[in-house]
């Protein structure tokens, strides 16, 4: 099954009630499949007039208590950032799928990881966070889609599934019924559905003109983000025994790095990998587990160095850090990563 | 004996609106209509950015406060999830006719079964009286200090006329708040719009010619007279679309 189709089918399997989206390559198969799937399941599908409208429809549906999602790509995600900030500020759950293409500006439609900052730092205003899940295979995409809805509902916060054009377009066999961890989710008593249906009045709101009030709200959000950091970090440590070097990579690049690690093994060079699955919260603690004997970390991205910042923070100055990146829609070959390890010292960054 | 009783559709809070502003009366009309139709408990309001952003404090229903211009997109999301509820947006002319024109037109075109209450006071009230798409030619604002010109900023946008052309619109009427007779007509129009929504007839919009005495630099009475003399010739009152009559 193609990645984008898997995303659509996983959303339905996860009980998504409503989808609002707008066409953009390379994620078009998601709204295309969902336009039929949602109708077949008696659920809601609306093709909005813009990405801006789509995320605001998501905001409305989330405020009404629905399980809701949108999907888009780089340029379109940029347009959604205002709405994502409102959804985070109003403490509503939703799932946003971002299938990254290359930028900046209109850029190209080939795979990229140039939106790491866009996903993990966000372009919306204010002190808010979005949980970001980065799959490296179609099966993991399906599993993380299901998790995304659970995490969103549990913490009443937007969750982004960050794929790239390669994941979206690649085909693999998947098990759609593979169970994921179910969370205990409270009834959505906050939803604004009419006062006949609950006690008091429900107002979905992020306005706070009084700084004393707003700071308290910011602190409530901060406490929630700390809970997320405590409980939701996911990562994989691969081939770490006897590792001389450790590659740090996520998504498609992690997958390519596995081939590079195999090739290096044939040359008797042992290389491990830290693969962040949650990009926020970032798996900082994984870096504390790297043995002292390791000579250095190689960060590989399909960008010119974005996750690199988080690796530098997490490394706490322990190891030399080298970087290898491709951009503009160019996908690194395993041989390029092998070469970067062989010439590690030349790639070291300050 | 006739005794006046405040509608259950309003909360007990005092509004923050300036003296002479017509938002307070317009809120009351919406609240009374929802109360009279018996749907207060089944209604979700959408509070847009602008002076009326605090409408959620005053109108006694569930509410969602939304980004600038996006009221009709958010209302779409709410109504699609809750098709048996009454969903309305309360927006100003800056919010609807400028930054939110795309969301409003497309909600109308999809025939979203929602009601839009638009207060048109020909200015951006909350931010301090800047020029709006509805500002009259020659009207002085803080961003058109020598008066709006067609050459620089075009002509006032006529929302009711524009929306009357949209297939999915069921009822479009422009009313005014400049005297009691017209306030009563406004209430009838609002009631008709909500009644159409209850009958699933589609998108309804009531454009209400309003005042902004403070930003216009007028006393409340002068502002009402000014709206009648200067706005109504540009924004003629009347029913612009009624699916039951066309």
CA angle, corner B186, sides to B182 and B189, nearest 5? 135
Stretch (H or E) spanning A279:
strand A278-280
**Cβ within 8 Å, pair A203-B56:** yes
**Cβ within 8 Å, pair B42-A194:** yes
The pTM of the full predicted model, rounded to 2 decimals, is 0.97
Residue B87, phi then psi, degrees to nearest 5? -125, 130
Distance from CA of A344 to the nearest CA of B (A): 48
DSSP 8-state code for residue A338: H
**Cβ within 8 Å, pair B81-A60:** yes
Distance from CA of A195 to the nearest CA of B (A): 4
Mind listing the pLDDT tens digit for each residue in A281-331? 999 999 999 999 999 999 999 999 999 999 999 999 999 999 999 999 999
SS3 A24: coil
Distance from CA of A82 to the nearest CA of B (A): 8
**Is A135 within 8 Å of A280 (Cβ atoms)?**
no
**Cβ within 8 Å, pair B64-A63:** yes
Measured between CA atoms, the residue of chain A closest to residue B54 is A207
Distance from CA of A220 to the nearest CA of B (A): 19
Which residues, listed in sequence order, are joined to residue B59 by a DSSP beta bridge?
B10
Which residues, in sequence order, are CB contacts of B91 under 8 Å at separation 6+? B48, B50, B52, B71, B100, B104, B116, B117, B118, B119
**Cβ within 8 Å, pair A57-B80:** yes
Mutate which of B12, B39, B42, B64 to disrupt the A interface (most A C-beta within 10 Å)?
B64
Q: Which of A223, A328, A243 is nearest to A290 (CA)?
A: A243
Q: At what angle do helices A74-89 and A51-63 cross, to 10 degrees?
A: 30
Q: Is A218 on the interface with B (CB under 8 A)?
A: no
Identify residues of B whose CB sits under 8 angstroms from chain A CBs. Answer: 40-44, 46, 53, 56, 60-67, 70, 73-82, 85, 102-103, 106, 110
Residue of A60, A194, A206 lying closest to B77 (CB–CB) = A60
Which residues, in sequence order, are CB contacts of A243 under 8 Å at separation 6+? A270, A271, A272, A291, A294
Which CATH homologous superfamily contains domain B23-137+155-242?
Thiamin diphosphate (ThDP)-binding fold, Pyr/PP domains (3.40.50.970)
- Full set of structural domains in chain A with CATH: 3-231 (3.40.50.970), 235-347 (3.40.50.920)
Q: What average pLDDT does range A244-251 have in this prediction? A: 98
Residue of B63, B73, B79 lying closest to A192 (CB–CB) = B63
Q: Tokens 């309001």 identify what position? A: B45
- Integer angstrom CA distances of residue B172 from B14, B70, B220, B244, B245: 31, 20, 27, 12, 12
Tokens coding B203: 């998108």
Q: What average pLDDT does range A98-106 have in this prediction? A: 96
**Is B59 within 8 Å of B30 (Cβ atoms)?**
yes
Distance from CA of A41 to the nearest CA of B (A): 14
Q: Which of B141, B80, B133 is nearest to A48 (CA)?
A: B80
Tokens coding A90: 């109003």
Residue of B41, B63, B103 lying closest to A203 (CB–CB) = B63
What confidence category does residue A208 fall into, taking pLDDT thresholds of 50, 70 and 90? very high
Mutate which of B65, B73, B103, B126 to disrupt the A interface (most A C-beta within 10 Å)?
B73
Tokens coding B127: 């931010």
Contacts of A59 in chain B (CB under 8 A): 64, 66-67, 70, 74, 77
Tokens coding A46: 């609306």
Distance from CA of B56 to the nearest CA of A (A): 7
**Cβ within 8 Å, pair A192-B62:** yes
CA angle, corner A192, sides to A191 and A194, nearest 5? 125
Q: Which of B38, B42, B37, B10 is nearest to B26 (CA)?
A: B10
**Cβ within 8 Å, pair B65-A201:** no
Distance (Å, whole) CA B56 – CA A348: 56
Distance (Å, whole) CA A284 – CA A344: 23
Distance (Å, whole) CA B81 – CA A138: 30
**Cβ within 8 Å, pair A202-B62:** yes
Distance (Å, whole) CA B204 – CA A58: 22
Distance from CA of A271 to the nearest CA of B (A): 49
CB atoms within 10 A of CB A259: 14
Distance from CA of A72 to the nearest CA of B (A): 17
Q: Tell me the torsion sign for CA atoms B117, B121, B123, B127.
A: negative
**For every residue of A167-180, which 3-state class applies, written as one string?**
HHHCECCCCCCCCC
- For chain A, state the CA radius of gyration: 20
Measured between CA atoms, the residue of chain B closest to residue A69 is B77
**Cβ within 8 Å, pair A61-B81:** yes
Tokens coding B185: 């007509």
- Complex ipTM tops 0.90: yes
Contacts of B64 in chain A (CB under 8 A): 59-60, 63, 192, 203-205
- For chain B, state the CA radius of gyration: 17
Tokens coding B215: 């930003």
Per-residue pLDDT of chain B (246 residues; tens, 9 = 90+): 778 899 999 999 999 999 999 999 999 999 999 999 999 999 999 999 999 999 999 999 999 999 999 999 999 999 999 999 999 999 999 999 999 999 999 999 999 999 999 999 999 999 999 999 999 999 999 999 999 999 999 999 999 999 999 999 999 999 999 999 999 999 999 999 999 999 999 999 999 999 999 999 999 999 999 999 999 999 999 999 999 997
Distance (Å, whole) CA B146 – CA B143: 9
Residue A350, pLDDT > 90, answer: no
């Amino acid at each position: 099954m193609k990645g984008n189709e898997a995303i659509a089918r996983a959303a339905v399997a996860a009980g998504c009630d409503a989808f609002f989206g707008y066409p953009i390559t390379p994620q078009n198969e998601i709204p295309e499949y969902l336009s039929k799937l949602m109708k077949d399941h008696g659920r809601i599908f609306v093709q909005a007039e813009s990405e801006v409208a789509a995320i605001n429809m998501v905001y409305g549906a989330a405020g009404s208590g629905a399980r809701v999602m949108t999907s888009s790509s780089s340029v379109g995600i940029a347009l959604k950032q205002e709405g994502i900030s409102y959804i985070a500020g109003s403490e509503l759950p939703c799932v946003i799928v971002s299938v990254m293409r290359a930028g900046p500006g209109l850029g190209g439609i080939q795979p990229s990881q140039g939106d790491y900052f866009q996903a993990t730092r966000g372009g919306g205003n204010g002190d808010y966070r979005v949980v970001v899940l980065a799959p490296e295979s179609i099966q993991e995409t399906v599993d993380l889609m299901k998790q995304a809805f659970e995490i969103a509902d549990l913490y009443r916060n937007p969750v982004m599934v960050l794929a790239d054009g390669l994941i979206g377009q690649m085909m693999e066999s998947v098990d759609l019924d593979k169970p994921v961890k179910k969370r205990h989710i409270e009834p959505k008593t906050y939803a604004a559905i009419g006062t006949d249906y609950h006690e008091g009045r429900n107002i979905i709101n992020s306005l706070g003109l009084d700084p004393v009030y707003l700071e308290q709200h910011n602190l409530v959000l901060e406490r929630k983000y700390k809970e997320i950091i405590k409980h939701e970090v996911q990562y994989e440590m691969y081939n770490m025994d006897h590792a001389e070097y450790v590659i740090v990579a996520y998504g498609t690049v992690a997958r390519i790095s596995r081939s590079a690690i195999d090739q290096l093994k044939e040359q008797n060079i042992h290389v491990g990998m830290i693969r962040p699955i949650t990009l926020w919260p970032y798996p900082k603690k994984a870096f504390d587990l790297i043995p002292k004997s390791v000579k250095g970390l190689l960060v590989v991205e399909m960008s010119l160095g974005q996750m690199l910042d988080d690796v530098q923070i997490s490394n706490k100055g322990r190891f030399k850090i080298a970087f290898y990146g491709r951009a503009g829609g160019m996908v690194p070959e395993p041989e390029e990563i092998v070469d970067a390890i062989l010439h590690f010292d030349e790639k070291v960054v300050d | 004996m006739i005794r006046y009783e405040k509608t259950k559709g309003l909360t007990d809070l005092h509004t923050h609106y300036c003296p002479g502003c017509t938002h307070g009366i317009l809120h009351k009309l919406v609240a009374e209509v929802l109360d009279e139709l018996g749907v207060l408990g089944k209604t979700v309001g959408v509070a847009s950015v602008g002076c009326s952003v605090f409408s959620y404090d005053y109108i006694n229903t569930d509410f969602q406060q939304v980004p600038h211009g996006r009221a009709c997109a958010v209302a779409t999301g709410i109504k699609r999830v809750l098709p048996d509820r009454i969903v309305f947006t309360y927006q100003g002319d800056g919010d609807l006719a400028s930054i939110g024109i795309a969301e409003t037109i497309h909600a109308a075109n999809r025939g979203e079964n929602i009601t839009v209450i638009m207060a048109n006071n020909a200015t951006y009230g909350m931010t301090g009286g800047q020029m709006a798409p509805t500002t009259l030619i020659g009207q002085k604002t803080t961003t058109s200090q020598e008066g709006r010109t067609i050459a620089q900023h075009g002509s006032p946008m006529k929302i009711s006329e524009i929306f009357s052309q949209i297939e999915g619109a069921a009822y479009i009427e422009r009313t005014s708040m400049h005297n009691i007779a017209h306030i009563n007509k406004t209430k009838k129009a609002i009631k008709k719009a909500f009644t159409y929504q209850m009958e699933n007839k589609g998108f309804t919009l009531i454009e209400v010619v309003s005042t902004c005495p403070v930003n216009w630099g007028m006393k409340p009475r002068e502002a009402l007279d000014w709206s009648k003399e200067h706005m109504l010739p540009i924004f003629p009152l009347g029913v612009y679309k009624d699916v039951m009559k066309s």
